[in-house]
Structure 1
């Protein structure tokens, strides 16, 4: 069991660490490590029955512990005592405004960092411009009753919060990521964004997951749309790398009147419904001179309904400090009037599961089905994707027969559902778990070092 220990700063000793009385060590410890910094020290048990970590003030300062550090985890391997984890949250978009150093996302990050003491993680924000390669330190940003700058060692673990694909692909961003991972062997989690078609094709290889997948193809010609409309009655056309429901079109074919219809959100006119005699005319109107290779076409599902509107679900899963997947948030999303999706920016609304009173399935049954599916898909994705995945946001649907469908998996899920008053508990839990995973990754990286030296 991974235990949290309070820190005490010792002023009457030098270069010394006092171990908690219940901390079990198998070897003589001679080195204290914090992040990638380390120093030889005298390490011994507390004289009295005290389950705290006593660190002499000189050692505390030499290793660049932030002054706000209060609770830590301890790991002992060979002659080294590791204290941490020190978690670097890597992002971009920093400003010179002290009260809003990360612009509009400052509140989001302050809320994220506010839970670190209860998790036992020392977390800070940094960007590529904050790395001091010569000294092996980072001028990071901490949050505790306000933002402040602090110099810390390179971290044990890095949590990727780059905001979009364009910034992620910048050479300077890639250079920092590659160097910290390759030269310093720092575990890096949530390293990139998911591509919808790539996710579909990878999951299709898993027989346990394929039943959750609506038929999905790259949009290469009109004939695949014609066939799918004949089979399913409606399809969705989505950008491969889209987000927030932008650029999504629903296509429908009415066999009785022979017309093709499309629903979409127009930037100027809002949600629209248009009718066409021919599929080619519809497609040429929507995608005139656009490259269709940027889109996918996906089977439409007859979803369960509430208030006579389509409903789908946002589910968050997180890795915990033991490296196990947990379902940490679930909410229903109800489509807005005439909307092609349930996204809030398209007029959708969020409801807690127990607020769905007029669906064919009971809320307990829906939660059970959706939880099982989200955990199964999380484990399957982890096997299929490169790097460490610490959190996933799923858009799942239930059809009128109770079958679960996966619409999207998001590597960097949004948090708009947590504005709903009854979902605040999920907001806190997802923030805690997104930091907690660093404890597991720190332990794994230390154990891998032990394997090297054996």
Structure 2
């Protein structure tokens, strides 16, 4: 990596070591384009015996115009008549600047392997984007001081979105800004666009019919009663819901209809004696075209806890998917969801498969490989429909006979913190590291 030092003249010069010439075969005093993020300028390339091999001198006016942060070491990559300085990676993490500041310590996990990534790394919010000026306000990482500094900077070369706009008033603003960023950066924005549970189902259905619970869109109460009549038990979920919120489990019990749901991590149950009574409940709590109705997957339970699995994956420095860990999730006792945020707990999948399913080591390995195969095939199908993913969390259901079902694909912010909760710190940091390696790769470095 190179240290960029300011050349205190305004004559658009780039001076490198004579022995280096950045791998170019061209001559000194050649005009080249230098690019940082999406900004570029033409400079005159010089070589000098007085410059060390790991440093370059750049006119101070060029540094200012391109917004280069000289506190960071950079790679310089040559493409014909262009020299790219980078990487310059932006992490769109929140909707507001205040929230970014509050969460600042958590972003240190992205820079733990900084010496292998290098370049400028920024975290910012939707609020921090100034489309008219072409600038962003956010926090830039200072590698020597190991702190985040509030700065104004140009648009980066790559953006990873981990923002969660679902069910917020900022949904529209988020998509407006993301469309603008995507227009500027092209294919260098990942974990975007977003898709709903219903869109996921429609994309996967042709290839994964046997791994998907039958699902239909809620348009009126008749849809619920038809699915109940067919399956006896269904789940109702918001199309863009998260964290197990606003989920209902409906069971037809003879003439009765039982509706189970959680409020503030406490289980509730309503029992109705006929369809008309239950229909009033549904009409009060549901919005047409905003919920889906899903056949209940026969998940295994253990000591009144429902169990499912999370497969954590990320792209590496070559843009290839890797399985970084598989974890079992135990729902809180008596609750209808397995979400950790709803009071559940997690552990390594292998431990659960041995202790609850009573599988031998070879059977565990075979089943985990099968889960991985299903997940990677599903991701390829999603990406084939135009969605650019970089890291995911796929929820997998498993019944008593080890039949696999795809429950959900988490792509807005598939947080690897589940690995920390399962005491798998290495996998957590590996996930963050792979995120940054993929961003670096995507930027051309």
How many angstroms apart in 1 are the aligned matches of 2:54 and 2:130? 32
Native 8 Å contact 1:116 1:122 kept in 2: no
2:240 counterpart of 1:241? yes
Q: CA deviation at 1:16?
A: 1.1
CA distance 1:180–1:27, change in 2 (3 Å): farther
Describe the superposition over 1:301-323 as per-residue Cα deviations: whole angstroms up to 9, x where unpaired.
11234446321011222222322
Q: What is the RMSD of the two structures over their aligned residues, measured on CA atoms? A: 3.5
Q: CA deviation at 1:41?
A: 4.2
Residue 97 of structure 2: which of 94, 97, 100 is its match?
94
Q: Which residue of 1 aligns with 2:197?
A: 196
Q: CA deviation at 1:200?
A: 0.5
Query: Structure 2: which 5+ residue stretches go unaligned?
Result: none
Residue 261 of structure 2: which of 257, 264, 289 is its match?
264
Residue 358 of structure 1: which of 347, 355, 358 is its match?
355
CA distance 1:244–1:31, change in 2 (3 Å): same
Q: Which residue of 2 aligns with 1:447?
A: none
Q: CA deviation at 1:102?
A: 1.8
Q: Which residue of 1 aligns with 2:153?
A: 152
Q: Which residue of 1 aligns with 2:117?
A: 119
Q: CA deviation at 1:290?
A: 3.9
CA distance 1:384–1:123, change in 2 (3 Å): same
When structure 1 is superposed on structure 2, of 330-339 and 428-437 the one drifting more is 428-437
2:126 counterpart of 1:142? no
CA distance 1:176–1:337, change in 2 (3 Å): closer
Secondary structure, aligned partner of 2:377? helix
TM-score by length of 1: 0.81
Describe the superposition over 1:208-256 as per-residue Cα deviations: whole angstroms up to 9, x where unpaired.
x3332111001234444344334433211111111100011112234xx
Q: Which residue of 2 aligns with 1:374?
A: 375
Native 8 Å contact 2:15 2:48 kept in 1: no
Q: Which residue of 1 aligns with 2:215?
A: 216
Secondary structure, aligned partner of 1:339? coil
Native 8 Å contact 2:347 2:422 kept in 1: no
Query: Structure 1: which 5+ residue stretches go unaligned?
Result: 96-100, 445-454
Native 8 Å contact 1:316 1:329 kept in 2: yes
| Structure 1 runs (4+) greater than 6 angstroms displaced | 10-14, 26-29, 44-48
Describe the superposition over 1:51-78 as per-residue Cα deviations: whole angstroms up to 9, x where unpaired.
84544574656643323313x4443222
How many angstroms apart in 1 are the aligned matches of 2:252 and 2:213? 18
Q: Which residue of 1 aligns with 2:107?
A: 109
How many angstroms apart in 1 are the aligned matches of 2:18 and 2:367? 48
How many angstroms apart in 1 are the aligned matches of 2:424 and 2:227? 37
Secondary structure, aligned partner of 2:306? strand
Give the number of the structure whose residues are more often strand, by fraction: 2
Residue 287 of structure 2: which of 285, 291, 303 is its match?
291
2:309 counterpart of 1:313? yes
CA distance 1:221–1:135, change in 2 (3 Å): closer
How many angstroms apart in 2 are the aligned matches of 1:429 and 1:237? 35
CA distance 1:339–1:245, change in 2 (3 Å): same
How many angstroms apart in 1 are the aligned matches of 2:402 and 2:424? 24
Count of residue correspondences:
427
Q: CA deviation at 1:117?
A: 3.7
Secondary structure, aligned partner of 2:308? strand
Describe the superposition over 1:428-447 as per-residue Cα deviations: whole angstroms up to 9, x where unpaired.
12212222222232239xxx
Secondary structure, aligned partner of 2:311? strand
Q: CA deviation at 1:147?
A: 2.5
How many angstroms apart in 2 are the aligned matches of 1:379 and 1:363? 24
When structure 1 is superposed on structure 2, of 75-84 and 407-416 the one drifting more is 407-416
Native 8 Å contact 2:157 2:443 kept in 1: yes
Q: Which residue of 2 aligns with 1:251?
A: 250
CA distance 1:74–1:374, change in 2 (3 Å): farther
TM-score by length of 2: 0.82
Q: Which residue of 1 aligns with 2:391?
A: 391
When structure 1 is superposed on structure 2, of 102-111 and 391-400 the one drifting more is 102-111
